[in-house]
């Protein structure tokens, strides 16, 4: 036993030594296939659709409460709900359930906006600020454009309140997933604006070190950035990384840039690191200049398109409208539309779902049959490519068995669902899918536990309240009794009370002959009244 313990100690020591290294573990060199990069000039903006659909959901998928009514006229940039702004001037025509971008094809409450004409360009709706503030980010609805759509204002606030002073500002331009090129297009076309944006973020955060991370095969984008840096010198580290998928995942990127291994689920801000997607940085800068975040660059690629493009799409534009404006016709064949990239994305059940801040890519792929799933032979290919050094095949068994503690033991929380294991599995087992299911199940269980905890608290509070009230009542009665007991002669008291009562009216004749009836009198109303009071109390709690 002692020997086994020593062995474990050595092994964990070895693991700690290994985790300190900055190379990305595992990962895959995938064919890059970055479609639709602009040859020259600016990124084309799509025309406004007849209707904009703005889901009342935040990044946690919690439902937002609308602050507008159907029929109301709203301005561009006006707040429609906490965390949701109008992406164009127009009239709210409905607040109703519409399909949203979600693998299940579920519907959610959306604000449907009919935009006015003549709004080809986004307009500023705030005064420019000399320095960026979290409030301005809130006002402009700035969200992370890298995929998670986390509220950038919250990120900035938590970076300022972090335990450690902000050491590193990490601008993430590592767009490692194949078939997504929206950030690369942005780097190529708006390099100068990006340098300005980074400068304003550096001023706002007072960071000590600022890193812009890009893969080294994006030569045109790197040239553009270098050129912009020559014209506008900035204390910015340009870090070029090997083009390995998933090098852009936040945790592994932080590990490679700073050498710091964050535990799963921990925010980088707690360690003095602020990590921002490059498009988000640009959006934050535009917010400082007064522009609300109302559009993003989307890569539209795949078969059935005349050519792949990167276009600027106003949030709320239905996917079908985006595809139509990019030249796709549904008649050209049997296709499936995939949102957010081949590996981290999903096939869209409904094309009426609107583009949101997290929609970075729309791919049009032919419908093909999947290879047959064979049994796992534990070959370990998945383990070799896992960037988080998990054992996907072991995790798979526990996830399949709905064993949440077991799944967590094998690192379900650390899994970034990058899909590398699926790509190398010789048995074509849908590993990542089962991990996503397991994680959803875990979130659902956590949510239910939270709800159960809340109702327990409510129940206990009510019990406490009832007890307090009963105790107060008891106390009152005890006091009343004590008062009764202290008076020397209850009969004389009762007589006096009866006399007092008789004064204004005609007195009952034999009031004095019934002294015993007066003794229990304080008790009766005291016990009856609260019982009648209870139900309304319950409703309010």
Partner 1 sequence: MSTLAPDTRSIAHPQRRVRHIMMHVMLALLPGTLLQAWLIHHRVLLILPVAILSALAFEALALRLRGKALRPALSDGSILVAAWLLTLCLPPTLPLWQLLVGIFVLAMLGKHLYGGLGHNPFNPAMVAYAVLIVSFPVTMTDWPAAPPEDSNRQQSLAWDGLSGATPLDQLRQLRLQQVSPGLVVMADTASGSAPSVDRAAADTQNSLASYPETAQNLIMHSSWKWVNLAWLAGGFYLLLMRIISWHIPLAVLSGVTLMYIGLAASSSGHALPPIPALLSGAILLGAFFIATDPVTAAASRSGKLVYGVGVGILTVIIREFSSYPEGFAFAVLLMNTGVPLIDYLLTGPAGRSRSDAS
Q: Please give the residue ranges that form the binding site for partner 1 (CB under 8 A).
A: 4, 7-8, 11-12, 15, 18-19, 28, 30-31, 33, 103, 178-179, 263, 302, 338, 342-349, 363, 365, 368, 370-372, 374-381, 383-384, 388-391, 393-394, 408-411, 414, 419, 422-428, 430, 432-433, 436-437
* Shortest distance in whole angstroms from residue 346 CB to partner 1: 4
To partner 1, the closest distance from the beta carbon of 6 in angstroms equals 13
Cβ distance to partner 1 smaller for residue 291 or 410: 410
Least distance from partner 1 to the Cβ atom of residue 440, Å: 9
Please say which residue, 31 or 50, places its beta carbon nearer to partner 1.
31
Most distant pair of Cα atoms in the chain: their distance:
110
- Nearest CA-CA partner of 351 in 309, 399, 319: 319
Nearer to partner 1, 25 or 477 (CB): 25
Yes or no: say if 267 and 139 are a contact pair by the CB < 8 Å rule: no
Helices (H), 487-517: 490-502
The rounded distance, in Å, linking the Cα atoms of 140 and 126 is: 9
Q: Which is nearer to partner 1, 19 or 203 (CB)?
A: 19
Q: Rounded to the nearest whole angstrom, what is the least distance from the CB of residue 217 to partner 1 in the complex?
A: 17
Report the nearest approach of partner 1 to the CB of residue 409 (Å): 6
Give whichever of 267 and 408 is closer to partner 1, judged by the CB atom. Answer: 408
- CB under 8 A, 24+ apart: contacts of 267-271: 267/158, 268/170, 269/155, 269/158, 269/159, 269/161, 269/162, 270/158, 270/162, 270/163, 270/164, 271/162, 271/163, 271/164, 271/167
Specify which residues 95 forms β-bridges with: 111
3-state secondary structure of 348: coil
- Is the preceding omega at residue 499 within 30 degrees of 0, hence cis? no
Q: Is 14 or 512 the residue whose CB approaches partner 1 more closely?
A: 14
Does residue 407 sit in helix, strand or coil?
A: helix
The smaller minimum CB distance to partner 1, of residues 243 and 345, is found at 345
Closest approach of partner 1 to the CB of residue 280, in Å: 24
Shortest CB 419 distance to partner 1, Å: 3
Two tokens, residue 531: 């019982």
- Rounded CA-CA distance 301/328 in Å is 10
């Amino acid at each position: 036993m002692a020997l086994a313990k020593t062995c474990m100690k050595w092994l964990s020591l070895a693991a700690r030594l290994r985790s300190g290294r900055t190379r990305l573990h595992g990962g895959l060199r995938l064919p890059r296939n970055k479609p639709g990069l602009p040859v020259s000039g600016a990124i084309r903006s799509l025309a406004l659709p007849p209707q904009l659909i703005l889901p009342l959901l935040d990044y946690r998928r919690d439902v937002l409460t609308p602050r507008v009514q159907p029929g109301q006229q709203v301005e561009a940039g006006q707040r429609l709900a906490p965390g949701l702004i109008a992406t164009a001037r127009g009239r709210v025509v409905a607040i109703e359930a519409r399909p949203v971008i979600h693998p299940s094809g579920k519907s959610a409450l959306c604000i449907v906006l009919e935009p006015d004409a003549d709004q080809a360009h986004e307009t500023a709706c705030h005064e420019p600020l000399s320095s960026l503030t979290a409030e301005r980010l809130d006002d402009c609805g700035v969200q992370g454009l890298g995929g998670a759509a986390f509220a950038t204002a919250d990120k900035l606030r938590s970076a300022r309140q972090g335990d450690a002073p902000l050491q590193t500002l990490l601008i993430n331009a590592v767009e490692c997933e194949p078939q997504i090129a929206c950030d690369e297009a942005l780097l190529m076309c708006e390099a100068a604006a990006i340098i300005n944006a980074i400068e304003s973020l550096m001023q706002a955060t007072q960071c000590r070190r600022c890193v812009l991370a890009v893969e080294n095969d994006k030569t045109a984008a790197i040239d553009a950035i270098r050129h912009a840096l020559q014209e506008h010198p900035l204390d910015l580290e340009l870090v070029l990384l090997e083009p390995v998928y998933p090098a852009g995942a936040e945790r592994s990127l932080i590990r490679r840039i700073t050498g710091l291994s964050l535990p799963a689920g921990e925010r980088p801000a707690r360690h003095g690191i602020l990590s921002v997607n490059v498009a988000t940085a640009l959006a934050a800068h535009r917010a400082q200049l007064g522009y609300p975040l109302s559009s993003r660059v989307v890569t539209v690629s795949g078969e059935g398109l005349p050519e792949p493009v990167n276009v600027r799409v106003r949030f709320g534009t239905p996917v079908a409208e985006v595809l139509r404006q990019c030249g796709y016709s549904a008649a050209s064949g049997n296709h499936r539309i995939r949102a957010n990239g081949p590996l981290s994305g999903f096939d869209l059940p409904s094309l009426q779902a609107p583009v949101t801040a997290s929609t970075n890519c729309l791919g049009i792929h032919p419908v093909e049959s999947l290879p047959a799933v064979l049994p796992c032979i534990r070959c370990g290919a998945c383990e070799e490519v896992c960037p988080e050094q998990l054992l996907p095949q072991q995790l798979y068994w526990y996830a399949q068995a709905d064993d949440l503690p077991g799944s967590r033991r094998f690192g379900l929380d650390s899994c970034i669902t990058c899909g590398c294991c699926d790509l190398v599995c010789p048995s074509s087992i849908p590993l990542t899918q089962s991990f996503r299911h397991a994680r959803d199940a875990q979130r659902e269980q956590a949510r239910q536990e939270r709800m159960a905890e809340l109702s327990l608290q409510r129940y206990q509070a009510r019990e406490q309240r009832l007890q307090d009230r009963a105790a107060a009542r008891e106390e009152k009665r005890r006091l009343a009794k004590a008062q009764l007991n202290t008076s020397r002669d209850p009969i004389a008291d009762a007589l006096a009370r009866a006399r007092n009562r008789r004064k204004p009216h005609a007195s009952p004749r034999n009031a004095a002959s019934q002294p015993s009836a007066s003794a229990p009198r304080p008790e009766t109303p005291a016990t009856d009244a609260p019982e009648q009071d209870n139900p309304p109390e319950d409703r309010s709690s």
